[in-house]
Chain A
Amino acid sequence: MNKYPAWLNTLVLVVLLTGILFAMPNVYSTAPALQLADSAGEAVTEEQLTSYLRALEGEDITPEAHFIKDGRGVIRFAGETDQREGAELLRSWFGRNTNVALTTAPRLPDWMRNLGLNPMSLGLDLRGGVYVLLEVDMATAIGNRMQGYEQDIDDRLREARIRHRVDLDDGIITIRLTSSEDLEAARRFVNLADPNLLVAEGTDGKSLTVRMTDQQIKERQDFAIEQNMTTLRSRVDQLGVAEPLVQRQGVDRIVVQLPGVQDPNELKGILTATATLEFRLVDQSGDMPGSRSYPGRGNEPTQVLKREVIASGDEIVDAGFTYTPEGQPAVSITLDSAGGERMLATTRDNVGKPMSTLFIEWQEKEVVRNGVPERRLVKSEEIINTATIRGVFKNRFQITGITPVEGQKLAVLLRAGALAAPVFQVDERTIGPSLGQDNIDRGFRAIQIGFLAVIVFMAFYYRWFGMIANVALLSNLVFIAAVLSLLGASLTLPGIAGIVLTVGMAVDANVLIFERIREELRDGATPQAAINSGYEKALSSIADANITTLIAAVVLLAFGTGPIKGFAITLMIGILTSMFTAIVGTRSIVNFVFGGRKLSSLPV
């Protein structure tokens, strides 16, 4: 009686060893390191890594280790001095196309890294950093798209010489015609612009209203979020932040977590910045269709510009801050091939004519709407520079008319790409590194002491069975660390609290079993029968109790945000692993030690 079959014992052993293997990376200490990412977003190759290493060798900086992880090069150093000097060196040599970020890396042996094993990551509350919650201005995202449709329909109607007026208000385009005969043509043009648009006839019989379907709105929103996340990732990379996290939250929010950033000022407002450029010809006649007047910045004169955009920020593939020979701050621009071709054609045909650079930026302003003050983003477009085209040029040129600070920021923004829709900051949290370290120390000390108290108590109270429960408790911690490492989930302070609660629940399972065994013994059962029915009868209580707590944890995970999620994840993992260790784990040890023997009493 009370013997587990060999396969079951083997299984328990294999599971335990696997758990230990996955939890092992957490044992190694971390060392200062550099993370090297390609600024164009390409994966870093072995050759690139070798060239970085050669550069370091030349300066007598010897790294501890180097490898490629997730398309990024990582070089680990023995100390912070090497790391700092290495960063300076690599930035000066490769800064143009490589983003160098300071980080830390665990001192894992190669075989462990080759197996893809990683330690669990620590949340911002434990390692310090900046957390920013951004909201995407969806009304603008949709408005921009509708503006495109409006212009398209306007152009087509004009080309067909149909008299009309097109207005856009609150996401609805209204097309007013002079006669109902033109309705069919207008409908056709709307259909050409996008066949999915919803078209309705006005009550006067001479107008059409056009709007997006819910499906289109949703697609547009998803597109705006995806595009913004890509841009934000690239901006964060430009700032040289290692292991950043950019994640969607809900319909219109994006969470950005920047570990290791100690001061939000380092971000220089670059996350929410919308600054971009457009190049347009000046409309010298001043009355071409679609032309508009734009104000000049500072001493720059106001100009009427043509509607056609020669090139815009989207077509800029590289940008760098520099000074002109005259000492003026400038941004050097490189256009992609499409933009370059258009610039070439335009400059060739317009030598001697003026061209303007528009600086476009969304600014947060307080707007009173229906008597309620509201934060809205307002588009500002200013001419920073108008110059006469002196010669033909293609994809490389310089612009001036900005301050040095603005120029540096603009260069970063142009390199990283524009946001598809403006964003504004909803939350910002900064946790200093000293607080992070404090939280780790305190959290772990609390766990150690609490854990020790439980272990001592169990050993005294249930003697050998208590010791077996303690083994289960320890392996439960190993499993939680293993699962967290495997999932790549990060450990937060509330997560530690979740682990503490799990310890309580795991102990409860064993208390239920052991009390039951004691009861059975009291009622005159033999030791072997008591073990068997103790485990059997306690099972339904343990299962019910754990399942109900699991329900609470799942609801927390589904509805919670931030810290609550961290708590729910460890609680969920802990409940599942503790069921295994407290029931199957302890049983296999109990069976191994006491099973199949004649016993007169049990040390419980």
Chain B
Amino acid sequence: MRLIKHKTNIDFLGVTRRKIALAISVIIVVVSLVELAREGLQFGIDFTGGILLELGYPEPANLENIRQNLSAAGYDDAQVQRFGTETDVLVRLPPQEGVNPEELREDLRRTIAEGTDGVDLRRVEFVSPQVGKELTERGGLAMIIALLLIFVYVMIRFQWKFAAGAVAALAHDVIVTVGFFAVFKLPFDLTVVAAVLAVIGYSLNDTVVAFDRIRENFFKLRGVSAEESMNTSINEMLARTIITGVTTLLVLVALLLLGGESIAPFSIALIIGIVVGTYSSIYTASATALLLGVNAQDLLEPVKDPDLIDDLP
């Protein structure tokens, strides 16, 4: 079975297309950055600290009732929302200062059980803001270190122009994925950070596979411009790119639809990241390397001094 005919010859990297792609990327990245700066992310309590309760009701829950009960008990700033199903409810509270956690827990339990029988406290989380702050710092640090190490690896295996292209593509993917969460106001929790890091891994995988073929073709196709041989490489890899993307997406869509509400943000981040990552390995990674004037010479082993050979007897 074949999804793609034997030999495609699509002009991925033609000057006009590259310009259009560049424009699209710039717009999406700018929109993402503006939204991130303006609205910010809907950080989960992993980052902000606070209290989270997941409640299971025997019948469809009356959110208004829960809000009123909480408000009457003095928890004015409680966020109450459905969680996946009609009977599941998520309650979020900001950190409560100077309250004994045991008393607070008891008080919340009483407040929530008021007027309803058989509420199941499925999950209760108390997170201090201090832990959240450390987590944000460590998460950012992990991201930067991962990018640096990857840059170094690609530089050693290929060349700095490729490494710059790869890191540009990764930065693009991270910004767009995180930006998506800001634009659509999706909850951003610790699992999303893991997903974003996995996106880095996947996008990188894609980019490196493309680079590998480009390197091979730089040697094989002599007398052809860098742009042409990159285009050929991307066409040759097209079947693989699509099939790998499709199989991974199959699993992720299953995870999104069946995995339950708590890993939904994780699945969304990965799905967005994989789509964006596939696009970016062509239009960000390769185009950047091309923009930096990459050519076959860059990948050749340094030629030994010909004089040395002349001196040999």
Residues of A within 8 A of B (CB): 133, 264-265, 269, 364, 366, 373, 375, 425-432, 434-435, 438-439, 442-443, 445-447, 449-451, 453-454, 457-458, 460-463, 493-494, 497-498, 500-501, 503-505, 507-508, 511-512, 515, 518-519, 522, 537, 540-541, 544-549, 551-553, 555-556, 558-564, 567-568, 571
Contacts and interface: CB of A to CB of B under 8 A. Distances in A.
A501 to B, nearest CB: 5
Contact of A434 (B120, B237, B250, B267): B120
A182 B80 CA distance: 70
Contacts of A449: 254, 258
B194 A555 contact: no
Contacts of B121: 430, 432
Contact of A559 (B127, B145, B204): B145
Given A453-B251, A508-B209, A555-B197, 5 more contacts: A373-B98, A427-B127, A454-B251, A511-B243, A558-B142
Main secondary structure of the interface of B (DSSP, over half): helix
B236 interface: yes
Nearest to A263: B121
B127 A549 contact: no
A436 to B, nearest CB: 9
A373 B6 CA distance: 70
A544 to B, nearest CB: 5
B194 A494 contact: yes
Interface stretch (B99-107, B222-230, B294-302): B99-107
Interface in B108-148: 120-128, 130-131, 135, 138-139, 141-142, 145-146
A507 B205 CA distance: 13
B209 A545 contact: yes
Contacts of B205: 505, 508, 545-546, 548-549
Interface string B67-111: 000000000000000000000000000000110111001100000
A432 B240 contact: no
Interface in B199-257: 200-202, 204-206, 208-209, 212-213, 216, 236-237, 239-240, 243-244, 246-248, 250-255, 257
B263 interface: yes
A246 B104 CA distance: 25
Nearest to B253: A450
Interface residues of B, number: 78
A555 B145 contact: yes
Pick the most buried of A431, A445, A500, A561: most chain B CB atoms within 10 A of its CB: A500
B201 A548 contact: yes
27 contacts: A264-B124, A364-B100, A366-B97, A366-B98, A428-B101, A430-B125, A432-B56, A434-B122, A435-B56, A446-B259, A457-B246, A457-B250, A494-B263, A497-B267, A504-B244, A507-B247, A511-B243, A515-B240, A518-B239, A541-B208, A548-B204, A551-B149, A551-B153, A552-B146, A552-B198, A564-B190, A564-B194
B154 interface: yes
Given A442-B259, A515-B239, A555-B149, A540 B212 contact: yes
A522 B6 contact: yes
A556 B142 CA distance: 6
B255 A553 contact: no
Contacts of B6: 522
B124 A429 contact: yes
B101 A552 contact: no
A113 to B, nearest CB: 33
Interface string B168-206: 000000000000000000000011011101101110111
